[in-house]
Amino acid sequence: MELMTVRRLIKRFSIVLCVQTGGAGVISVWLGTLLATAFGLKEALIGGMWCAISAAIVINAEEKSAFEAALLRFVASLVACVLSGAIVSGLGYGYASLLLVLVLNVALISLIGFREGFRQSSIAIFVIYATGAMQPDLSVWLNALGRLAESAVGILVGLCFVLIFIPLRRWLASLN
């Protein structure tokens, strides 16, 4: 089979993206599950999946957008961690505190210039609330910091897979 046909097949089936997503996903779930277990989360697979979601968000076809996605994901996760930890520590898990955290989240994300990150930070808040409701004996701050740590690990795994595949992507692009 000639080289151009192989390149077309690789591009047509997004083989590089398949390998990146699959590899980063499996490694992230594994690392996230270990991390969630270390944080004392009873449903550690949720931590693994949260880690893998971060990796999937970071992996993009373009290198520049991957780094932008990583920064946005981390800032959104950090805001969700701090707001959830602070508000829930004082008010507990409930609809009123959830409403307050979500409203303050959008305001703070907008204020710091990451308005496009409010969806990701809102999702992180929902996950923090869900894991907190499933395990109310877990410290609020430990729960929030655990989700932040899982996001950070997933971001790093995703970026590693992006960086590892840069030479292959450039080589494939040069064959045009």
Parent domain of 57: 14-174
Among 69, 72, 102, CA closest to 88: 102
Q: Is residue 1 part of a domain?
A: no
Q: Residue 40 above 90 pLDDT?
A: no
Q: Is residue 50 part of a domain?
A: yes
Q: How many CB atoms lie within 10 A of CB 158?
A: 30
Work out how many domains the chain is built from and give that number.
1
Lowest mean per-residue pLDDT among 2-6, 16-20, 59-63: 2-6
Q: Is residue 6 part of a domain?
A: no
Q: Is residue 45 part of a domain?
A: yes
- CA atoms of 81 and 85, how far apart (whole Å): 6
99-120: per-residue pLDDT in tens?
999 999 999 999 999 888 999 9
Q: For the chain, what percent of residues have pLDDT higher than 70?
A: 93
One-letter identity of residue 89: S
The residues near 40 (Cβ < 8 Å, ≥ 6 apart) are 135, 138, 142
Residue 31: predicted pLDDT: 97
The number of residues in the chain equals: 176
Note the helical H segments in 39-175. Answer: 44-58, 63-91, 95-111, 118-134, 140-174
Per-residue pLDDT band at 12 (split at 50, 70, 90): low
115-165: per-residue pLDDT in tens?
889 999 999 999 999 999 999 999 999 999 999 999 999 999 999 999 998
